[in-house]
Amino acid sequence: MQKQVTFFRGGDVSDAKFMYDVVEASRPDVIVHLAEQRSAPYSMIGLKQATETMVKNIVSTLNLIYAVKDIVPEAHILKMGGTMGEYGTPNIDIPEGFFEVEYNGRRDYLPFPKFASSWYHWTKVHDSNNLMFASKVWNLSVTDVMQGGSYTARGRQRLSKLASTQGLMWTRCSAPPSTGSARRQLQTCL
């Protein structure tokens, strides 16, 4: 059976009832999560803007997580819009998602630490952590696409990594549904 791709009209995804109604009405296989206040400079203007950014962005993602868990737990959440601003500017190479660390003689495989550069970017960090947690505890299928700028040899012309490599990123970062438990792991792409 072929499903129709559905695009939604306006609504407030920080309103749990609206989010549940949309997910219930469409029962999607995949949800591309783009619905957030998306301006780092706006989030830094003052307390009102910082609070609005924190509440709207974090609550909208939590609403999505719970709506998927409660209505369509087999659906795949594709979080778009994570940015390199989540990582700050560490003086080391940033691995793709997780990295192996050794400390006091013990080893583990952990998410790379993030030190965001604005209140907006902190909401993206919290979204990533909340989605990773939901994937772990409820076995939800999530792909967290981290986008970064790329530059041409001609100078500082910024290109969207997502736009220039969309097919590659989807193929490289998303496990096909037939791979069992691999489908249920949170996958992070840079």
Residue 74 is classified by DSSP as T
H/E element holding 44? Answer: none
Average pLDDT over residues 99-118: 91
pLDDT, tens digit (0-9, with 9 covering 90-100), for 123-169: 999 999 999 999 999 999 999 887 765 444 443 333 333 333 333 22
Phi, psi dihedral angles at 146 (to 5 degrees): -95, 125
Q: What Å distances lie between residue 56 and 79, 95, 124, 142, 145, CA to CA?
A: 16, 29, 12, 20, 20
Q: In this model, does residue 74 exceed pLDDT 80?
A: yes
Residue 98 is classified by DSSP as E
Residues 125/81, Cβ–Cβ less than 8 Å: no
- Record the tokens describing residue 30, joined without a space: 């995949």
Active site residues: 83, 120, 124
Ordered structural domains, the chain, with CATH: 16-88+115-189 (3.40.50.720)
Residues 19/64, Cβ–Cβ less than 8 Å: yes
Residues 89/42, Cβ–Cβ less than 8 Å: no
The chain-wide mean pLDDT, for the chain, equals 76
